[in-house]
Amino acid sequence: MIRSERKSYSLREISERFGGEIVGDPDTRIRQVATLENAGPGSIAFLANERYRRQLDNTRASALIVGESMRDATPLPCVVCRDPYAYFAHVSGLLNPPRQAQPGRHASAVIDASASIAEDAEVGPLVVIGRNARIGARSLVGAGSVIGCDVTLGDDVRLHANVTIYDGCMIGSRVILHSGVVIGADGFGIAMSDERWLKVPQIGKVVIANDVEIGANTTIDRGAIDDTVIEEGVKLDNQIQIAHNVHIGAHTAIAACAGVAGSAKIGRYCRIGGASGIVGHLTIADHVEISAHTLVTKSIDKSGTYTGAYPFDANREWRRNAAQLRHLDDLADRVRVLEQKLTQPKRSKS
């Protein structure tokens, strides 16, 4: 994000905000964050992995963020802390604050007279806001977004361009919705009747708690009867599908292209890898990590890491192994027969 003016901070000022021990000149001024490889004067980089230690010799950064084990690894001024990557995130947020809402409503916005919009909120061009919608203080509604009837947005919400929120959904404070997000579309509820599919009305809503961020083109369906719930601090990547009546626990993170089927319940502080799939009506415990491309077909009741991806190989070998997988059931039967024969007592010869 390019800015014409950028404020700088001394290491002392940074340490006063976020903690950490300064080694070297505390008056070193920092204007921006950077990688070790591409840092220049006025920038601060971080080192959290020993693999990149060799880059210290050539970095042009003015200062570094390092862990305890790297305290003496460089003559450059350092902030020593417990978690360099998390500290780096704090510093980057300080140096790169998001654009604040500019109070006002664009002339092209279509806003129902019954809508309640905070005076210091920003409503961009071509926005549509429905009946009885409520938009909180300092919130920003980006161009082309559509806010349905009876929708509630908390304070400091940021909707990037072309976000759609269907009727009745509730969004907490400090929520970020990126472009293309759709909140509250109908879930995939259909019933077979007289050899035709019959639509099941989706009468629940989506409830999103505070401090949630949802990536571009992710969709969260409204509940069929009860609500779809996203608890506080959840982070969803781009192009994720969350089906009706899903419940995602606080501070869980889900990577891109994952899909969660209806009525699944995911615990708190879970981490779900990209392109994973979670079958409906199951429960995942707190503090579960699911590797990328894993298909979860049954509930997980204990914390830990779970992996189900079939490893790639050269096509010829992969096809050969895949063919063998088709015969695993027959092989298991044969093994059972052999085990029975081996465990049966031998009959003596007459």
pLDDT digits (tens, 9 = 90+) for 302-342: 999 999 988 889 999 989 888 888 888 888 999 999 988 88
**Whether residue 161 is found in the same domain as residue 125:** yes
Classify residue 4: in a domain, yes or no. no
Cβ–Cβ contacts within 10 Å for residue 153, how many?
29
**Whether residue 48 is found in the same domain as residue 114:** no
Classify residue 350: in a domain, yes or no. no
**Whether residue 14 is found in the same domain as residue 63:** yes
Q: What is the pLDDT of residues 85-103, one digit of tens each?
A: 999 999 999 999 999 999 9
Classify residue 198: in a domain, yes or no. yes
Last residue of a domain, one of 95, 119, 150: 95
Q: Is 244 a catalytic residue?
A: yes
Last residue of a domain, one of 40, 69, 95: 95
What total of structural domains would you count in the chain?
3
Classify residue 3: in a domain, yes or no. no
pTM of the model: 0.90
Classify residue 330: in a domain, yes or no. yes
Which residue among the candidates 244, 247, 293, 327 is catalytic per the annotation?
244
Q: Which pLDDT does position 342 carry in this prediction?
A: 87
Asked if 78 and 64 touch (Cβ cutoff 8 Å), the reply is yes
**Whether residue 293 is found in the same domain as residue 201:** yes
**Whether residue 209 is found in the same domain as residue 281:** yes
Q: Which pLDDT does position 347 carry in this prediction?
A: 62
Classify residue 43: in a domain, yes or no. yes
At 95, the amino acid letter reads L
- Percentage of the chain lying above the pLDDT 70 cut: 97
Cβ–Cβ contacts within 10 Å for residue 295, how many?
14
Buried b (16+ CB within 10 A) or exposed e, 212-244: bbbbbbbbbbbbbeebbbbbbbbbbbbbbbbbb
**Whether residue 137 is found in the same domain as residue 221:** yes
For the cut 50, the answer to whether the pLDDT of residue 211 exceeds it is: yes
Contacts of 18 (CB under 8 A, 6+ apart): 81, 87, 90, 91
Classify residue 229: in a domain, yes or no. yes
Q: What is the pLDDT of residues 151-193, one digit of tens each?
A: 999 999 999 999 999 999 999 999 999 999 999 999 999 999 9
For the cut 50, the answer to whether the pLDDT of residue 243 exceeds it is: yes
Return the structure tokens found at 131. Answer: 């009946």
Q: Which pLDDT does position 133 carry in this prediction?
A: 98
**Whether residue 244 is found in the same domain as residue 131:** yes
Interatomic CA distance for residues 281 and 125, integer angstroms: 41
Interatomic CA distance for residues 204 and 170, integer angstroms: 11
Question: Which structural domain range is residue 51 located in?
Answer: 9-95
Contacts of 282 (CB under 8 A, 6+ apart): 264, 265, 296, 297, 298, 299, 300
Kindly indicate the confidence band of residue 2, based on its pLDDT and cuts at 50, 70 and 90.
very low
**Whether residue 285 is found in the same domain as residue 330:** no
Interatomic CA distance for residues 6 and 223, integer angstroms: 45
Q: Which pLDDT does position 1 carry in this prediction?
A: 40
**Whether residue 300 is found in the same domain as residue 323:** no
